[in-house]
Structure 1
Amino acid sequence: MTALTAALFLGLAATSAVRAEPGVLDICDDEYEPVTLDPRREFSEKNHTILQQLFEGLVRFDPEGRIEPALAVSWSRVDPLTVEFKLREGVRFHNGEPLDAEAVRSSLESFVDPAKGFPGVGLLNSIERIEAVDARTVRVRTRFPDGVLLHRLAGLVTILPPRAAAEMGEQRFATSPVGTGPFLFAGWEKGRNIRLDANPSYWAGSPRFRRIVFHFLPVEKQVEGLLKGEIDIVTELPGTATLRVMKSEHARIVKKKTFYTVGGSLNISTGPLRDLRVRQALNHAINRAELVRYDLLGNGTPLATLSMPGEIGHDPELVPYRYDPIKARRLLAEAGYPNGVTLKGVVKAQGERTLRIVSPQLKRVGIRLETQLTTDATVIQDIQSKHWDFTFGGCPDPLAHSFFIQSIFLSSVSPYSLLHYPEYDSLLRRMVETLEPAEQHRAGMLLDRFMQQEALSIFTYQRIKTYGVAKNVEFVPAVTGMPYLHLSYPHEKKPEAGPVR
């Protein structure tokens, strides 16, 4: 493992040799540095990848998206509205503060209080009250039976040291964070990198890498660094770089199916999409095999709905809408649009490339698109600014549950949704409020079938994420797309590229 030269930090060509640093993991996960390292102020995949090395919640996901213990060693349901957690003993924050029930209570309250400003607070609105029963016991009470509570806590909530958070203040804490995680904050060189050091007192054992450095570089500089042996992991490897990496002496390809799709919300209250036949035509007009080939260079699989294999609620028996442009044109004509139809939509930047491929497919059957590009910072304002027929964008699933993407795109209470469909909302609520896992999964499959039957979104694909990884690093990717890096380790053997997991 190696450190980057100052020239490479600045995005310039590196011309001199790079000093090797054994035990250091150099990783590129994003071109841009985060705005904050305070988990109460962020809600994004890239930020969270850094933060979950520093912070932990009561529970977390394993690499396949299953709930496992973290700061809580066990939990039990006291009644339909209450879950009790028993805390792990002997855990201390990086500043030496002990983990106790009061720290958990104050942290959870800072996430669920709308006045505190956590961007994902709407996904935690089931939580009514947090009670510190004793030093090692916490109870979380919800407003309704919440079968998704553990997934909400694993994907969204981390525990902060109350004394340090109060003494440091929000501004300082955002640039010098303190958690209980496997790595400690070591420094932030603005515009260049964030450094984390191994926590020697971590409750699960000190990580095998003594330091992690997150570098913020343009994509091509990330690839150059990987090929030269200066970067160990590139998490968003472009498909155009795959062949170069496969031929590289230093790096290999690692692939992992992730909970990530591209889709959106349809306005079925007014306009052409009120008619089911138009929504069906929209989906029959999309050649998903071609979409996967050109958008992902083959690194994806077509989807029948917004849910994905491995998520709770996914129905494996559903098959994607068949590509049938003749049927799509016939459905449009039957709906009263023999000359086609024009749809206006808001497109997030993450979905722009996908829509550039989809748009000509739709145009061939008579569906014309007029779009406005938006960003994460302005998407809600843009959606609410005028009448739209659809929204479109990429969406990961940090909760490892079909509830998340469906609630973002389709729930009538979501600020990202154009859909107002009481029957859909009722089915979604039924899944969420079902506590028994097998019954909840069946309720989710019913919702999945309803979503496809009513063609409530533009269904596309599940992404297979492609990583470039140094041959002397054993990297453990995660189905959420946000890996826990303490699970990765250095080794001497140089393995061949493995199959998609």
Structure 2
Amino acid sequence: MNKNRLRPRQMMAPALALAIATSGLAACGNSDSGKSGASGPDVVRALLAAQPATLDPIVGPRSGQVVWATMLEPLIKLDADLNMVDSGLVTSWTRTDQTNWTFKVRPGISFTNGEKADAAAVANTILLTRDSEASQLKTYFTNIVSAEAPDATTVVVKTKTPQYDLPELLTTVYLVPPKYYKEKGSEGFAAAPVGTGPYLWAGSHAGRDMSVKKNPDYWGAKPSNDGVTFSWATEASQRLALVQSKSVDVAFDLPPTKADEAKKAGLDVVSTTTAMKIIAFIDSTKAPFKDPKLREAAALAIDRDAIVSGIFDGKAVADSGLLNVKPGTEPSRSVTPDPAKAKELVGGASPTVQISYPAGQYTNIKEVSEAVGGNLEKVGFKVKYVPLDYGTLTKRIIGREVPGVSIFAGVPNVPIPDYFASGFMKTTSITGNCPDPKTDKLIAKALQQDNAEAAAPIYDELNTSGVVDRHCYVPLYRQVFNYATLPNVKGVEFGPLNTVDFTKTAL
């Protein structure tokens, strides 16, 4: 422990505030900024690549959970091997018949504002996830008919049709207090989140940083530190410079070259192959990709191996599948790049393709997008680049306003194929880029199986249909996530589902 470390706030990275236009996606500022900030000698200073779009887990993209998951907890926990465990808020789950599940809730838990974190709160959060207009997880919960709490520790969920993976889905649903959430609304909740977790909201300086502090009344194991202050810098070189200058304790999302520089500078660097994969989504509903031949041409033109070797120096994992969620798994069939055939399919038409991507959101995303565009130009497409902030791109995708190609991450917060199948392939999915009634039927059929093993062949068929036959999705690579810490900082735990546990972090 070094109690005399300098913490000059003026050296913190200035934030580029996200211009969030969609309802509920609000930057988390606090007008009472003078009272913000965690206190104590052991506050972890964490530097992110971007300011979270919102701290409301109901409507927020999961990129923000690195902050909100310090204060809020998922209904069901996963262990290090991505298996569900009974050590969280929900302690057991039983499929009482094909369309009914019974969940037992840990007794005696309260939110930090005093509300009871009981079965009624769990049922309310499930229904908010299903019904909120801007819910990021809405598509996964439309099969739910009801969620009721017959007593303080029991939740009964009824579905329209059988759904074998409902408990797995609850591992990415974060419990919110019913009264407070209703009173504040999405934007108000995001400005001062309340949960049951190991940390409490400690305020923010709008556009600059946000802080959490240790929850002295946490029902589980108490954190090893006094809190965490989050700041952000979109430039990787700035993130590296700030951790090198000891202005922060940990800097996340370093590209391979910066990770190598960090190692040479004597910093501790951790690299983790994640389940997050970068995907090029091709919109079949608008020109030019209403034409299936042009979709095939685009898929054949893109060389994922060249992207991994040329941009990441081999320090990412090329991946040719969509529904092979867990790291290390591969699809049975994939697309092999064939520029010559792609050029033949394009012919002499020179169609214009718009490539949209979230500027600054993912490691080297600009270079990746330009590499994809370069591949397309070589086979006869004309390319127009549209860099957007993450919130605006998300809004436009949900509104079906993004033609051509969208390049962004698929983040499977639940390690099951349906997370991408329902999330990206259904007609009513987040992207809706390639609607097909046959796909909807296959997804429903998969969910009605008794278990994951029985559903596996159907997901393989879905992957082949979407990636190989209809060319709606061009998977590119899995992210290898690098972060650097000061040598005295121990216990930052980053998981393959892009989660961070700060509770064991010691300075």
TM-score by length of 1: 0.83
1 CA distance for matches of 2:381 and 2:13?
Answer: 45
Which structure 2 residues correspond to residues 178-197 of structure 1 after superposition, within 5 A? 178-197=194-213
Which structure 2 residues correspond to residues 46-445 of structure 1 after superposition, within 5 A? 46-69=63-86, 70-114=88-132, 117-155=134-172, 157-165=173-181, 172-219=188-235, 220-249=237-266, 251-268=267-284, 273=289, 278-308=294-324, 310=326, 316=330, 318=332, 320-330=334-344, 332=345, 337-339=346-348, 341-350=350-359, 352-375=366-389, 376-377=391-392, 379-381=394-396, 388-414=403-429, 416-445=431-460
Q: Deviations over 1:423-459 (max 9, x none)?
A: 2222222223324121123322232233333133223
Q: Which runs of 5+ in 1 are unaligned?
A: 13-19, 492-501
Q: Contact 2:13 / 2:232 at 8 angstroms: preserved in 1? A: no
Greater displacement, 388-397 / 451-460: 388-397
Q: Contact 2:356 / 2:407 at 8 angstroms: preserved in 1? A: yes
1:31 pairs with 2:34: no
2 CA distance for matches of 1:164 and 1:277?
Answer: 52
2 CA distance for matches of 1:169 and 1:283?
Answer: 42
> Aligned-pair distance for 1:179?
1.0
1:485 pairs with 2:499: no
1 CA distance for matches of 2:483 and 2:138?
Answer: 31
Identity %: 21
2 CA distance for matches of 1:320 and 1:441?
Answer: 17
> Aligned-pair distance for 1:343?
4.4
What amino acid is the match of 1:418?
Answer: N
Q: Which residue does 1:496 correspond to in 2?
A: none
In structure 2, relative to structure 1, the CA distance for the partners of 1:215 and 1:322 (3 Å cut) is same
Q: Which residue does 1:9 correspond to in 2?
A: 12
Q: Which residue does 1:16 correspond to in 2?
A: none
Q: Secondary structure at the match of 1:89?
A: coil
Which structure 2 residues correspond to residues 436-475 of structure 1 after superposition, within 5 A? 436-454=451-469, 455-472=471-488, 473-475=490-492
2 CA distance for matches of 1:71 and 1:468?
Answer: 32
2 CA distance for matches of 1:270 and 1:23?
Answer: 53
> Aligned-pair distance for 1:372?
4.1
Q: Secondary structure at the match of 2:494?
A: coil
1 CA distance for matches of 2:208 and 2:452?
Answer: 44
Q: Secondary structure at the match of 2:157?
A: strand
1 CA distance for matches of 2:245 and 2:396?
Answer: 43
Q: Secondary structure at the match of 2:392?
A: coil
1:44 pairs with 2:71: no
Q: Which residue does 2:34 correspond to in 1?
A: none
> Aligned-pair distance for 1:137?
0.8
2 CA distance for matches of 1:324 and 1:408?
Answer: 29
Q: Contact 1:260 / 1:463 at 8 angstroms: preserved in 2? A: yes
> Aligned-pair distance for 1:357?
0.7
Q: Deviations over 1:326-377 (max 9, x none)?
A: 34345x2xxxx43364243351325543220122222223333345444432
In structure 2, relative to structure 1, the CA distance for the partners of 1:22 and 1:269 (3 Å cut) is closer
Q: Deviations over 1:353-409 (max 9, x none)?
A: 322012222222333334544443255547867794444333322233332334343
1 CA distance for matches of 2:66 and 2:108?
Answer: 26
In structure 2, relative to structure 1, the CA distance for the partners of 1:96 and 1:372 (3 Å cut) is closer
> Aligned-pair distance for 1:461?
1.2
Q: Contact 1:299 / 1:465 at 8 angstroms: preserved in 2? A: no
Q: Secondary structure at the match of 2:454?
A: helix
> Aligned-pair distance for 1:475?
2.2
2 CA distance for matches of 1:461 and 1:270?
Answer: 26
> Aligned-pair distance for 1:49?
1.4
2 CA distance for matches of 1:362 and 1:141?
Answer: 47
Q: Which residue does 1:497 correspond to in 2?
A: none
Q: Deviations over 1:168-227 (max 9, x none)?
A: 676654333221111122222323322212223333311222211112345344322211
> Aligned-pair distance for 1:237?
1.3
> Aligned-pair distance for 1:309?
5.0
1 CA distance for matches of 2:418 and 2:127?
Answer: 23
What root-mean-square deviation, in Å, do the aligned CA atoms of Structure 1 and Structure 2 show?
3.2
Greater displacement, 314-323 / 182-191: 314-323
Q: Contact 2:111 / 2:194 at 8 angstroms: preserved in 1? A: yes
